[in-house]
C-alpha cells in the first residue's frame, strides 16, 4: 500500500476547519479527518459541511465510539464519513456493531488501541473483530501527564513495528510524533500518516498553527508520498 497523508482537523469551528481542509487539499493531503474536537463542537453538521465541500475526498470521523456503535456509525456514514473510529476498550459487541454498520452503510472501520492493557493484543483484537484499519495511539492526556511527572513521554513508535507485525490490516500511528517521526512511519510499515496537533494544529489552543503551513504541508506530503511502505516480517 502506498503511503496516505491524513490531516486531523482538531478544531472547534467548522469555518476554520473548511479553510484548513482546503489548504491541505492544495498541499497534497489525501484524507480529511473530522477530529474529536470538531465532532463535539459541530456534530453531524460539521461532517456534512466537509462532505459538501469535498465530495470525492475520504473523510474520517474520529468518534472514538465506546457504546451505541451501530447508530453512531450509521449517522456519520449517512452524513458523509467514509471511515469511523471505534475503541479497542469498547465491548466486543460494540466493535461488532460498528463493523456491521460500516458494511451496511459503506464505511470503513478504524479500530483505535489507545489505553489497551497490551497494545499489540489490542490491535489484534480489533482486526479479529473485523476492523479495516488499526490506529496505534498514545493519548494526548497520557503523554502530557507522564511528561509532567518527569518520566519519558511514551511514543507510538515504541511498539509500532510489533503492532504492524501482529496484524494484516493497514496501521496508523498517532500521538505526539515529531514531524520527522511522522514522515518515517511508512518505513515502520505504517502507511497511513496522520498530521495534526502539534504538527499542523496548535496543541494547546486547538487552532490552526501559524506560519506558512501550506508550503510546509506540501513538502511533508511530497516526502511521504515518495516512499514505499516497507512492512516488517510477520511475527
- In tens, the pLDDT along 34-88 reads 999 999 999 999 999 999 999 999 999 999 999 999 999 999 999 999 999 999 9
Tell me the CATH class for 4-225: alpha beta
Q: Is 224:29 a contact under the CB 8 Å cutoff?
A: no
> Percentage of the chain with pLDDT > 90?
81
pTM, full prediction: 0.91
- In tens, the pLDDT along 106-130 reads 999 999 999 999 999 999 999 999 9
Please, where are the H alpha helices in the chain? Answer: 14-27, 36-53, 69-79, 92-105, 119-128, 140-148, 160-166, 179-184, 213-225
Report which of 146, 93, 135 is spatially closest to residue 111, judged by C-alpha positions.
Answer: 135
pLDDT class of 228 with cuts at 50, 70, 90: confident
Per-domain residue ranges of the chain? 4-225
Q: Please state the rounded mean pLDDT for residues 170-196.
A: 93
- In tens, the pLDDT along 136-151 reads 999 989 988 998 999 9
Rounded to the nearest integer, the mean pLDDT of the chain is 92
SS3 130: coil
- Give CA torsion, residues 151, 158, 139, 179, to 10 deg: 100
Amino acid at each position: 500500500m502506498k503511503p496516505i497523508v491524513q490531516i486531523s482537523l482538531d478544531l472547534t469551528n467548522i469555518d476554520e476547519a473548511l479553510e484548513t481542509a482546503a489548504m491541505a487539499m492544495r498541499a497534497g493531503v489525501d484524507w480529511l479527518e473530522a477530529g474529536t474536537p470538531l465532532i463535539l463542537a459541530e456534530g453531524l453538521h460539521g461532517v456534512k459541511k466537509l462532505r459538501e465541500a469535498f465530495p470525492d475526498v475520504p473523510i474520517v470521523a474520529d468518534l472514538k465510539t465506546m457504546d451505541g456503535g451501530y447508530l453512531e456509525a450509521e449517522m456519520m456514514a449517512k452524513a458523509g464519513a467514509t471511515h469511523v473510529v471505534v475503541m479497542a476498550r469498547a465491548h466486543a459487541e460494540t466493535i461488532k456493531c460498528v463493523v456491521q454498520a460500516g458494511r451496511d452503510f459503506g464505511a470503513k472501520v478504524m479500530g483505535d488501541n489507545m489505553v489497551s492493557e497490551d497494545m499489540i493484543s489490542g490491535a489484534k483484537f480489533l482486526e479479529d473483530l473485523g476492523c479495516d484499519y488499526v490506529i496505534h495511539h498514545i493519548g494526548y492526556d497520557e503523554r502530557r501527564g507522564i511528561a509532567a511527572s518527569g518520566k519519558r513521554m511514551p511514543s507510538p513508535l515504541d511498539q509500532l513495528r510489533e503492532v504492524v507485525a501482529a496484524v494484516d490490516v493497514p496501521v496508523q500511528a498517532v500521538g505526539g510524533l515529531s514531524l520527522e517521526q511522522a514522515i518515517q512511519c511508512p518505513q515502520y510499515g505504517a502507511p497511513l500518516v496522520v498530521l495534526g496537533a502539534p504538527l499542523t494544529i496548535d496543541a494547546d489552543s486547538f487552532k490552526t498553527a501559524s506560519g506558512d503551513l501550506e508550503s510546509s504541508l506540501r513538502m511533508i506530503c511530497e516526502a511521504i508520498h515518495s516512499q514505499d511502505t516497507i512492512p516488517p516480517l510477520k511475527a
